[in-house]
Amino acid sequence: MPLEIKHAPTEPTTVGSEAYFTGHVEVASLFSGAAPSRITCACVTFGARARSAWHTHPCGQTLIVTSGRGFVQSWGGPVREIRPGDVIWTPPGEKHWHGAATNSTMTHIAIQEALDGKTVDWLEKVSDEQYERVGV
């Protein structure tokens, strides 16, 4: 396959499913690799206070924060602040969530690989009580 350029925007932006996100989230698929590649990539924008549900990735995930301010947390670990330019690696199977701060939007590029056609396993939502412990 020859070199390919996708000019933005080529894929529609969708609103994140209420089953997997709390608050307003927009997801723009950027690309999926052609076989044998298993990589997928999306640009995800979280409105203030918006966040993902707890989830895992069978092959791990890399996030690159492009704007705003947010948080990420692994199950049982501390909440960590993330800002533009930060690169976050979550190992395969690690339960975690990520989202925007209470007073800021946050956008990141999410890169992950599929295993048996699956890139994410969604779990329970991050409760308001869990999120409130984050602070601003």
Domains annotated for the chain, with CATH where assigned, are 13-132 (2.60.120.10)
Q: Residue-wise pLDDT tens for the chain (136 aa)? A: 688 777 766 677 899 999 999 999 999 999 888 888 899 999 999 999 999 999 999 999 999 999 999 999 999 999 999 999 999 999 999 999 999 999 999 999 999 999 998 999 999 999 998 898 776 5
Considering the entire predicted model, what is its pTM?
A: 0.91
Long-range contacts of 83-92 (CB under 8 A, 24+ apart): 87/62, 87/63, 88/62, 88/63, 88/64, 89/60, 89/61, 89/62, 90/57, 90/60, 90/61, 90/62, 90/63, 91/60, 92/56, 92/57, 92/58, 92/59, 92/60
